[in-house]
Amino acid sequence: MHLPHPRGPLTEELLGALRSGIDDFYAVLAAAPTATGEDAALALWVLHELHYRGFGEVPEQLEWDPQLIRVRRVLEHDLENRLRDRFTAPEGLSFVEDVFDWIDGHEGPSLARHVHRDADREQVLELFRLRSLYHLKEADPTAWVVPRLGVRAKAALMELQYDEYGAGDPNRLHHHLFAEGMRASGLEPAYDAYLHLVPLEVLEQNNALSMFGLHRRLRGAALGHLAAFEATSSLPSRRMAQGLERLGFPAEMVDYYAEHVEADAVHEQLAVRTICAALLEEEPELEEDLWFGAFTCLDLEDRFARTMLARWGVEEEVA
């Protein structure tokens, strides 16, 4: 895994410093508060990545460098504020009872619908390249939440995660299934391979997930995001699988989506009825953060879908 190209003054400083092998990041810290857009998002993505697999050219001990953590916090604070500014908690609803209807009542553009009927092969390949940033570490950010939970919520989350990780069989591990699908489709299954292509919206989807996972304080948001993510996957995965068959994509990639039709029909129930329900029994004060996480999941996906449909000159298709 290699460091990406900079996208502005902050990433110029940060990536230069990481490459140079020095451990003085004051100039990076000075540049952080004024960074915006893709520059800020890419910097945060790089800093989060130090907690996943890291970069070959960056010393491993920098994962916990206090100055870099400080930079991360400045960027996360800004991201969290922007996400919370977009969110209004629904009134009079119970998360466990009402979240499915709340999601079904949400009207947003649907990339799966476009892939199902109208997308061409190049558009779908582009989508895979951009989605690979998350799909190649699918479920990983949520794994960080496990030790922050009480007994029931912890066991419930592991029941879901166990399936995400192939129930012990590496061949069935979900991000490996996507990697196999990419390889069979002629793409490179490495999570830095297409980093230079991803727009702001994809960086922010990934950054929000990592931030929710890395902060114990945000465990409610992480699990709300999980519930919304799983609850918007089954039927769209069916549309994706049928669209890929229409376009003659290899069986490995069709299988990745076919697996998610049935897996996520289970996971959406587990996420809401066992994981979030147990969390609320143990920590009822986290209900608003469950909604915040769920809203953020839908909101960030809407923004990504709008960007792609506009790029392809497609009129918005509402799910």
Partner 1 sequence: MSAAGTHFEHPDVVVCPGGPMLLRGKHTIEDADGVPHETTRPVTAVCRCDRSASFPWCDGTHRVLPAKLRPT
Q: Which residues would be at the binding site for partner 1 (CB under 8 A)?
A: 100, 104, 151-152, 155, 159, 162-163, 167, 234-235, 238, 261-266, 268-270, 273
> From the CB of 244, what's the least distance to partner 1, in Å?
16
Nearer to partner 1 among residue 264 and residue 289 (C-beta)? 264
Terminal-to-terminal C-alpha distance of the chain: 36
Number of residues that make up the chain: 319
> From the CB of 119, what's the least distance to partner 1, in Å?
21
149, two tokens: 């939970």
Counting runs of H as helices and runs of E as strands, what totals does the chain give? 16, 0
> From the CB of 222, what's the least distance to partner 1, in Å?
21
Nearer to partner 1 among residue 40 and residue 231 (C-beta)? 231
280, two tokens: 């609320």
φ/ψ region of 8 (left if φ > 0, alpha if ψ in -120 to 50, else beta) reads left
> From the CB of 219, what's the least distance to partner 1, in Å?
20
Nearer to partner 1 among residue 45 and residue 178 (C-beta)? 178
> From the CB of 161, what's the least distance to partner 1, in Å?
10
Nearer to partner 1 among residue 269 and residue 307 (C-beta)? 269
Nearer to partner 1 among residue 135 and residue 239 (C-beta)? 239
Q: How far apart are CA 143 and CA 230, in angstroms?
A: 15
Nearer to partner 1 among residue 242 and residue 307 (C-beta)? 242
Which of helix, strand or coil describes residue 318? Answer: strand
Q: How far apart are CA 295 and CA 304, in angstroms?
A: 14
Residues 6+ apart with CB under 8 A from 288: 89, 220
Q: How far apart are CA 6 and CA 164, in angstroms?
A: 33
> From the CB of 152, what's the least distance to partner 1, in Å?
6
